[in-house]
Amino acid sequence: MKRFTGFVIKEFYHIFRDYRTLLILFGMPAVQLLLFGYVVTNEIKDARIAIYDASKDEVTRKISEKVLSSGYFILEKNLKNYAEIGPTFREGKTKLVLVFGSNFAEKLQREGKADIQILGDASDPNTANILVNYASGIISNYLISVNIEKVPMRIIPEVRMQYNPGLKGVFMFVPGIMAMLLMLISALMTSLSITREKELGTMELLLVSPLRPIQIIIGKVIPYVLLAFIDSCIILGMGNFVFGVPIQGNLILLLFECLLYITMALSLGILISSITSSQQIAMTISLMALMLPTILLSGFIFPVENMPVILQVLCHAMPPKYFITIIKDIMLKGNGVSFIWKETLVMMSFTVIFILISIKKFKVRLA
Amino acid sequence: MLYGAYEYRKLTTSPAPFGEGAGGGAIEQRTANGEQRMTNNENIITVRNLVKKFGHFVANDHLNFEVRKGEIFGFLGANGAGKTTTIRILCGLSYPTSGEVNVAGLDIYRQRNLVKRNIGYMSQRFSLYDDLTVYENIRFYAGIYGLGRKEIVTKAEVLMNRLGLEAARDKLIRDLPQGWKQKLAFSVAIIHDPKIVFLDEPTGGVDPITRRQFWNLIFEAAREGITIFVTTHYMDEAEYCDRVTIMVDGKISALDTPSELKKTYAAANMNEVFLKLARTAINEE
């Protein structure tokens, strides 16, 4: 045990002597969360809009007012004729143009319908889509409110977004960033620290010593369990206090799942380092084979359900997917063990599989 | 240079155990060392019919040899002759395909963990931690061999004293000159007073002066009763060994004292002995 403690202390020396890595380890969660939380959002605020109002009557003015007071749009300019639309878009500032046909109110009164055109700048398709939806939503809301007395029967859907009423992006980024960062720290850092010993030749010395291989590996892993755990607390804390992401479920269960995920990632790191003996390769594998799938194939940003079948199958082989599901369940829905035991079991099996393969590889190398 | 003064003192005051070019003086000195040591006929390593195969390639082909307690045992051979394979097996880093191997009275199959407590190891690849200080490295290696805290403190003091490294106690290893690292690595490898220390080309890539100082340390360790098992490329170093094994293509082609070997092969020095043996291997092919 004394030997083992000495070994773990040495590992901490390595980590604390390397200021830059340490800074990355603890700075990255904060920076990433702030970036994703504030910069990468799908919410639209203050989009520039131009209006060409050919009739300028009471109704069109009302509608324009509604649109502009919604908080989503700011008036860039009023257009004088239809031909100005092209140049306005080309300037680039204006993302949406609203065109009212002539005699709008009159037509509406008489025929029950009037022309309104919504033009979006689809050089950025996502934004255009969202803006057009917002605008048409506001307009139809207005029409419904105006027609209330006239229409005898009506269906007014009441929409409520469960678990994330404000449709905040941060709610999905917090679990995603946790999955990504914990994977990075755990898998990348352990595989690097083990391959480093191999490159230096110190691994041989450790293997010749009375330390058992299992002690060496556990000794390598313990500091990173601790660091990764602190990181997950930082992310959860920031998510909660800065961005208001709730923790509806049991905090202890949540932390336990984090630990399980960390262990899984660590065993993956050990596996990587048992396959390769150079830091360079370990780094490439960790970054390419772990980071990209974690971001793209885990349901972090892009919904798994919309992918082609082959990719969907691949997604189910990605451990982060299960972790993200679990985290969302606990944090946002307040679900307990009865809802997430399957995912938990999957993560446990991943861990066991990774460890078994590593042990096998390790023995082969020794023989 | 911080250590220059000490290096100079060491070179001028301590009698060099062998002259440049390894003439007769070296052998005399070695014999003198041998007399001081507790060399006896007790075997500390016994190897019987050791075979190690990697697929179809036979790295060690039925090796038979003994190493006597307290001797400096040289293990020579060209690159790829199978030296490192043997040393790795003796250290428990790798299992033999077949054969009996006994190290420090222990069976390497069944008592591997006990074997590990009784041996020290230093490889050609430099093996201290760059980002730890001199003292931290010593403490770490002493620690993994299970030395107590007080013991570590005294041992570290003695060690740094002997190497003249007191001033560098809290310096990072990466800031030390290469020669000092190598000497420190050796001292650390024997900090737990092992019965045997395995040195796998310990002087690779080191200048002649440092090599000589390094061999001083080896002699000192041998005087303290530690058996030295050393592989080397340098034939002048072979002269400093009590007995020498020459491996060619996975087999032992000669094993004797350097002087007997030179007599048998009618050679002026070990270099010639080695070339003659290596040439027969090439002729056989």
Which tokens sit at A156? 């007014």
Are B202 and B122 within 8 A, CB to CB?
Answer: yes
CA gap A189, A260 in Å, rounded? 17
Please report whether residue B10 resides in a domain. Answer: no
Are B218 and B186 within 8 A, CB to CB?
Answer: yes
- Return the HEC string of chain A: CHHHHHHHHHHHHHHHHCHHHHHHHHHHHHHHHHHHHHHCCCCCCCEEEEEEECCCCHHHHHHHHHHHCCCCEEEEEEECCHHHHHHHHHHCCCCEEEEECCCHHHHHHHHCCCCEEEEECCCCHHHHHHHHHHHHHHHHHHHHHHHCCCCCCCCCCCCCCCCCCCCCCHHHHHHHHHHHHHHHHHHHHHHHHHHHHHHHCHHHHHHHCCCCHHHHHHHHHHHHHHHHHHHHHHHHHHHHHCCCCCCCCCHHHHHHHHHHHHHHHHHHHHHHHHHCCCHHHHHHHHHHHHHHHHHHCCCCCCCHHHCCHHHHHHHHCCHHHHHHHHHHHHHHHCCCHHHHHHHHHHHHHHHHHHHHHHHHHHHHHHC
Which residue has better confidence, A223 or B235?
Answer: A223
Which tokens sit at A304? 């798994």
* Residue B156 sits in the same domain as residue B285: no
Share of chain B above pLDDT 70, in %: 84
Average pLDDT on B56-78 reads 90
* Residue A260 sits in the same domain as residue A329: yes
pLDDT at A136: 87
B84 touches chain A (CB under 8 A): no
CA gap B183, A237 in Å, rounded? 50
Please give the interface size between A and B, counted as residue pairs whose CB atoms are below 8 Å apart: 74
Q: For tokens 């029950």, name the residue.
A: A112
* Residue A172 sits in the same domain as residue A315: yes
Q: Of B193, B209, B244, which closes a domain?
A: B193
* Residue B95 sits in the same domain as residue B172: no
Task: Work out the pLDDT band at B30, boundaries 50, 70, 90.
Answer: very low
Please report whether residue A1 resides in a domain. Answer: no
Please report whether residue B98 resides in a domain. Answer: yes
* Residue A180 sits in the same domain as residue A328: yes
pLDDT of chain A, 367 residues: tens digit per residue: 778 888 999 999 998 888 888 888 888 888 888 887 777 666 677 888 999 988 888 888 888 988 888 888 888 888 888 888 888 888 888 889 999 888 888 888 888 778 889 998 888 887 888 888 888 888 888 877 777 666 556 676 777 878 777 667 778 788 888 888 888 888 888 888 889 888 888 888 888 888 888 888 889 889 999 999 999 999 999 888 988 888 888 999 999 999 999 999 999 999 988 888 888 888 888 888 777 778 888 877 777 888 888 888 888 888 888 999 899 899 888 888 888 999 999 999 999 999 888 888 876 665 4
Strand order in the sheet with B57-68: B57-68, B43-54, B98-103, B106-107
* Residue A102 sits in the same domain as residue A68: yes
DSSP track, B205-219: T--HHHHHHHHHHHH
Please report whether residue A154 resides in a domain. Answer: no
Indicate yes or no: CB of B146 within 8 angstroms of CB of A210.
Answer: yes
Question: What residues contact residue B55 under an 8 Å CB cut-off, 6+ apart?
Answer: none
B118 touches chain A (CB under 8 A): no
Interface test with A, best of B90, B127, B181, B197 (most A CBs within 10 A): B127
Please report whether residue A163 resides in a domain. Answer: no
Judged against a pLDDT cut of 50, whether residue B25 lies above it is answered with no
- Pick from A127-131, A208-212, B31-35, B133-137 the range whose average pLDDT is largest: B133-137
DSSP track, chain B: -TTHHHHHHHHHHSPPSS-TT--HHHHHHHHHHHHHTT--S-EEEEEEEEEEEETTEEEEEEEEEEEETT-EEEEEE-TTSSHHHHHHHHHTSS--SEEEEEETTEETTT-HHHHHHTEEEE-SS--S-TTSBHHHHHHHHHHHTT--HHHHHHHHHHHHHHHT-GGGTTSBGGGS-HHHHHHHHHHHHTTT--SEEEEESTTTT--HHHHHHHHHHHHHHHHTT-EEEEEES-HHHHTTSSEEEEEETTEEEEEE-HHHHHHHTT-SSHHHHHHHHHHHHHHH-
Indicate yes or no: CB of B93 within 8 angstroms of CB of A207.
Answer: yes
Indicate yes or no: CB of A367 within 8 angstroms of CB of B128.
Answer: no
* Residue B62 sits in the same domain as residue B156: no
* Residue B87 sits in the same domain as residue B35: yes
Which tokens sit at B258? 């350097």
* Residue B229 sits in the same domain as residue B273: yes
- Of B285, B281, B209, nearest to B246 by C-alpha is B281
Interface test with B, best of A3, A8, A10, A362 (most B CBs within 10 A): A10
pLDDT at A151: 58
* Residue B83 sits in the same domain as residue B217: yes
* Residue A181 sits in the same domain as residue A201: yes
User: In angstroms, what CA-CA distances link B51 with A132, B98, B227, B283?
Assistant: 78, 5, 24, 24
For A203, which residue in chain B has the nearest alpha carbon?
B127
Q: Which of A6, A201, A212 sits opposite B143 (nearest CB)?
A: A6
* Residue B62 sits in the same domain as residue B170: no
Count of domains forming chain A: 2
Indicate yes or no: CB of A204 within 8 angstroms of CB of B127.
Answer: yes
Would the pTM of this model clear 0.80, i.e. be above it? no
CA gap A160, A158 in Å, rounded? 7
Please report whether residue A155 resides in a domain. Answer: no
Q: Which of A18, A201, A211 sits opposite B127 (nearest CB)?
A: A201
Q: What is the longest distance spanned by two Cα atoms in chain B?
A: 58
* Residue A30 sits in the same domain as residue A179: yes
Domain that holds residue A68: 47-147
Q: What is the distance in angstroms between the Cα of A15 and the nearest Cα belonging to chain B?
A: 10
Which tokens sit at B32? 């003198």
> How remote is the C-alpha of B234 from its chain's centroid?
13
Judged against a pLDDT cut of 60, whether residue B284 lies above it is answered with no
Please report whether residue B8 resides in a domain. Answer: no
- Of A191, A309, A331, A154, nearest to A254 by C-alpha is A331
> How remote is the C-alpha of B19 from its chain's centroid?
20
Which residue has better confidence, B11 or A255?
Answer: A255
* Residue A20 sits in the same domain as residue A76: no
Which residues in A lie closer than 8 A to residue B95 (C-beta atoms)?
366-367
Are A96 and A73 within 8 A, CB to CB?
Answer: yes
Please report whether residue A14 resides in a domain. Answer: yes
* Residue A223 sits in the same domain as residue A324: yes
Please report whether residue B180 resides in a domain. Answer: yes
Judged against a pLDDT cut of 70, whether residue B219 lies above it is answered with yes
A365 touches chain B (CB under 8 A): no
pLDDT in tens, B256-275: 898 898 898 888 888 888 88
Indicate yes or no: CB of A2 within 8 angstroms of CB of B143.
Answer: yes
Which residues in B lie closer than 8 A to residue A210 (C-beta atoms)?
113, 116-117, 144-146
Please report whether residue B270 resides in a domain. Answer: yes
Q: What is the distance in angstroms between the Cα of A213 and the nearest Cα belonging to chain B?
A: 11
Indicate yes or no: CB of B143 within 8 angstroms of CB of A3.
Answer: yes
User: Is the sign of the CA dihedral A88, A92, A93, A94 positive or negative?
Assistant: positive
Q: Helix crossing, B178-189 with B149-163: angle to 10°?
A: 140
Bridge partner list, B248: B251
* Residue B248 sits in the same domain as residue B278: yes
Q: Of B193, B213, B241, which closes a domain?
A: B193
> Is residue A151 packed enough to be buried (19+ CB in 10 Å), middle (13-18) or exposed (0-12)?
exposed
CA gap B218, A100 in Å, rounded? 96
Domain that holds residue B181: 129-193
For B90, which residue in chain A has the nearest alpha carbon?
A208
Q: Is the ipTM of this complex over 0.85?
A: no
Which tokens sit at A147? 């027609």
CATH of the domain at A72: 3.40.1710.10
* Residue A243 sits in the same domain as residue A189: yes
pLDDT at B170: 92
Please report whether residue B6 resides in a domain. Answer: no
For A18, which residue in chain B has the nearest alpha carbon?
B131
Q: What is the distance in angstroms between the Cα of A4 and the nearest Cα belonging to chain B?
A: 7
Which tokens sit at B232? 């080397």
Please report whether residue A157 resides in a domain. Answer: no
* Residue A36 sits in the same domain as residue A52: no
Q: What is the mean pLDDT of chain B?
A: 82
Please report whether residue A349 resides in a domain. Answer: yes
A1 touches chain B (CB under 8 A): no
Are B104 and B196 within 8 A, CB to CB?
Answer: yes
First to last CA, chain A: 27
For B140, which residue in chain A has the nearest alpha carbon?
A6
Count of domains forming chain B: 2
Interface test with A, best of B124, B134, B144 (most A CBs within 10 A): B144
Q: What is the distance in angstroms between the Cα of B89 and the nearest Cα belonging to chain A?
A: 10
pLDDT at A50: 92
Q: Of A94, A113, A147, which closes a domain?
A: A147
* Residue A345 sits in the same domain as residue A220: yes
Please report whether residue A320 resides in a domain. Answer: yes
A:193-232 residues touching chain B, CB 8 A cutoff: 200-202, 204-212
Which tokens sit at B26? 């070296």
Indicate yes or no: CB of B131 within 8 angstroms of CB of A204.
Answer: no
CA gap B189, B87 in Å, rounded? 15
Buried b (16+ CB within 10 A) or exposed e, B273-283: bbebbbeeeee
Task: Work out the pLDDT band at B49, boundaries 50, 70, 90.
Answer: very high
CATH of the domain at B70: 3.40.50.300
Q: What is the distance in angstroms between the Cα of B92 and the nearest Cα belonging to chain A?
A: 7
* Residue B59 sits in the same domain as residue B28: yes
* Residue B189 sits in the same domain as residue B199: no
Which residues in A lie closer than 8 A to residue B140 (C-beta atoms)?
6-7, 10
Task: Work out the pLDDT band at B283, boundaries 50, 70, 90.
Answer: low
At position A145, the amino acid (one-letter code) is S
Question: What residues contact residue A140 under an 8 Å CB cut-off, 6+ apart?
Answer: none
Q: For tokens 């994977």, name the residue.
A: A183
* Residue B137 sits in the same domain as residue B102: no
* Residue B147 sits in the same domain as residue B220: no
Judged against a pLDDT cut of 80, whether residue B151 lies above it is answered with yes
* Residue A137 sits in the same domain as residue A239: no
